[in-house]
Amino acid sequence: MSISWKGVFPAFTTKFTASDTLDLALFEKGLQSQLDAGVDGIVLGGSLGEASTLTTEEKETLVKLAIDIAGRVPVVLNIAEGATREAIKQAALAKSWGVKGLMLLPPMRYKTDVRETYTFFKTVAGSTDLPIMIYNNPVDYKTEVTLDIFEQLLECDNIQAVKESTRDVSNVTRMINRFGDRYKILCGVDTLAMEELLMGADGWVGGLVTAFPRETVAVYRLVKAGLLEEARVIYRWFLPLLELDIHPKLVQYIKLAEAQVGLGSEYVRAPRLTLVGEERERILSIIQEGIANRPELPEFKLTRLIS
């Protein structure tokens, strides 16, 4: 199996009702907006998707619904488990549900050393034929997947890509210098997306794309087409919103943005709580200012880039 690991892959949120059940109608509406904007893949069950609070049955429901809606657009499931055997179990379930690929985090709750990190990834990859994108986020999850570890993992043919979230733009160049195009690189930090795309990243696993899909896809396509001034205009407008992605409350912040544009609701699952008071007003003002000044997209150029 293989995935074309390039383009825009939304880290999609999980929609809940006021009674803390899955809001499947809102999930479908939000997902359809991503597809209409021209995204290239969908990632479910990430941090933004509140996966740690979801049951296996809920994950299955969301995956199967997303596959039905997405058609040819690949659905990727994130795996973030504490035990290797549980990660293997999740990979097998994902395959049975019909996903096209996996995004795989290092073991959670324990900071593995180099040998343990390599062994974990090799073991999970060896248990499945699904294509895998490693999520490298040492800032939030403490374990860094170093270049030397990626060197060892070259033997795993189905480890094909990396969600680059080290927050070091130079790491894109380091990866390309060492491995060429063996690993596809997708930026995983919204505030560095254009910079990493310019340095050769193949794609963007986005957060704010769930509220602003057309703008996110526009930045990606314009950069890849070399239309940099047009991309800069959108990206400069976008940056205050993109900064909502690099906060511990990114789920609440991005869900508030989704609610404001009619693509989601503010409901989150405990222990997260919806925003209140001054914090909500502050984040809301950023979102509303962005909406009020939303740029006009160069539709004729974007249409040409699609064809």
The residue annotated as part of the active site, out of 15, 59, 135, 267, is: 135
State the helix-helix crossing angle for 228-242 and 277-292, rounded to 10 degrees.
160
Cα→Cα distances 99→2, 53, 121, 149, 213, Å: 12, 20, 19, 26, 22
The helix or strand, by DSSP H or E, that contains position 70, with its residue range, turns out to be: helix 56-70
The residue annotated as part of the active site, out of 6, 15, 100, 163, is: 163
The closest alpha carbon to 217, from 208, 209, 227, 228, belongs to: 209
Compute the CA torsion angle 30, 35, 36, 38 (nearest 10 deg).
Answer: 130
Strands 184-187 and 203-206: parallel
Rg of the Cα atoms in the chain: 18
Active site residue 163: yes
In whole angstroms, give the CA distance from residue 40 to residue 42. Answer: 7
For the four alpha carbons of 179, 180, 185 and 190, in that order, the dihedral sign comes to positive
State the residue for tokens 């939030």.
140
- Helix, strand or coil, per DSSP, at residue 184: strand
229: CB partners within 8 A, 6+ apart: none
Active site residue 135: yes
In whole angstroms, give the CA distance from residue 48 to residue 85. Answer: 24
Active site residues: 135, 163
